[in-house]
Amino acid sequence: MVNGDFAKLTRKHGIKISAGFACTVEEIGLAVGEKVGHGSIKSLARMNSAVVIFLDQVEKVNCVIETGITVREMFVQVQPLMLPATKVILSNVPPFITDEFLSRDCPGMGNLFLQ
């Protein structure tokens, strides 16, 4: 892949894999490559005890996230690099006001996460 092609990759092209056991970047890369094709992996690196992988197509990212991978005969969950969530913190709201009331009166906000 030419360096200019990396500019086309976004966070939607990335996945994050945190195995609960010791394994190498190569083992995780091979497991992802078995799912989507080894040529689809454009970049992979270990970052903060997780492995971050960029794939060439968002559809392949979704496929790996939905199915997960198997490393050393153990299932490993795959997370998207970009989480499509918004966190809203409201303060000084009386306890008798329900989450349903707030989400109904704030259209387009989806689920509210209150603390």
The pLDDT tens digits of the residues spanning 48-79 come to 889 999 999 999 999 999 999 999 999 999 99
Within 8 A by CB and 6+ apart from 56, the residues are 13, 39, 40, 41, 42
- Where exactly are the structural domains of the chain? 3-80, 85-115
pLDDT of residue 81: 85
Token pair for residue 113? Answer: 């996460």
pLDDT of residue 114: 44
- Per-residue pLDDT, averaged over 27-41, amounts to 94
- The pTM score is 0.68
At the second CATH level, the architecture of 3-80 is: 2-Layer Sandwich (3.30)
pLDDT of residue 113: 44
pLDDT score of 96 more than 80: yes
